[in-house]
Structure 1
Amino acid sequence: MPREFARSQRVADQIQRELAQLVQRELKDPRLGLVSIAGVKLSRDLAYAQVYVTSLSDTEHDEIIKALTRAAGFLRHQLGKSMHLRIVPELKFVYDDTLEKGISISQLIDDAVSQERGEE
């Protein structure tokens, strides 16, 4: 059982690296801007992959997901050519907002500290 987990994790990491390169070099959609692949979570049978993406651009999250979903067939084809897997996983893109939440929490902490220093 642990070997299966290690293999699925290695495959997920490889998919993440390959997708990051493909999105950066091959996709010409202007909606994508500064998109990065934050992580990939594979199903146990390696047939489905949830791809978590983040963006630093001002483009709406829904537009980014739509653009990537539209390009999913192309991306799967390119993954199949480069990775030599028996089954290339079906890609489902999900926006990962942990970066934005982290920035928001950091800002709240900074505000609280500055208010505390001002009251003393």
Structure 2
Amino acid sequence: MARRPTREPKTATQRQLRAGEIIRHALVTLLARGDLRDPALEKALITVSEVRMSSDLRVAKVYVAPLGPGEPAALAKALNRGASFLRGRLGREIELKFTPELHFHADNSYETASHVDQLLARPQVQRDLKADDDGDSQE
């Protein structure tokens, strides 16, 4: 009988979370030094918001956003061009068995949160929320 391939768990394990934080802190340090010589990254201030590790800790999805004006997708593309260089530098900074392959992705969570805040601030939504609060207190 053939064995079914196991799926990765939906939630990250403690090991994945710990390794992701180690890598995030090391990347922040490396990016703050400004070792990359890419013109697109020359004066960019970069926020590394999250690092998600694969179950075998060999691949890291790094979510980045510019601090201030800038295009997150262009920033991620520029960082992906220098990913092998950063991986080499990262290997010297961290004490993990393997240095993971880095894949940079644009982090749009700040824009999404801002959009949700704008939606919740609308007068129609405020009115409905107030009506719900009044309805709950009368019961």
Q: Percent identity?
A: 37
SS class of match (1:31): helix
Return the offset for 1:114: 9.4
Question: What aligned pairs does 1:29-44 form with structure 2 within 5 A after superposition?
Answer: 29=38, 31-32=40-41, 33-44=44-55
TM-score between both structures, scaled by the size of structure 2:
0.70
Partner SS, residue 27 of structure 1: coil
Select the residue among 64, 72, 79 that pairs with 1:68.
Answer: 79
Tell me the C-alpha RMSD between the 2 structures: 2.4
SS where residue 47 of structure 2 aligns? strand
**Larger RCO: 1 or 2 (CA < 8 Å, sep 6+):** 1
Structure 1 residue 83 displacement after superposition? 1.1
Q: Report the TM-score, using the length of structure 1 for normalisation.
A: 0.80
* 85, 94, 107: which one aligns with 1:83: 94
Where do 4+ consecutive residues of structure 1 move more than 3 Å? 27-32, 113-116
Greater helix share, structure number: 1
Between structure 1 and structure 2, the one with the greater Rg is: 2
What are the ranges of 5 or more consecutive residues in structure 1 without an aligned counterpart? none
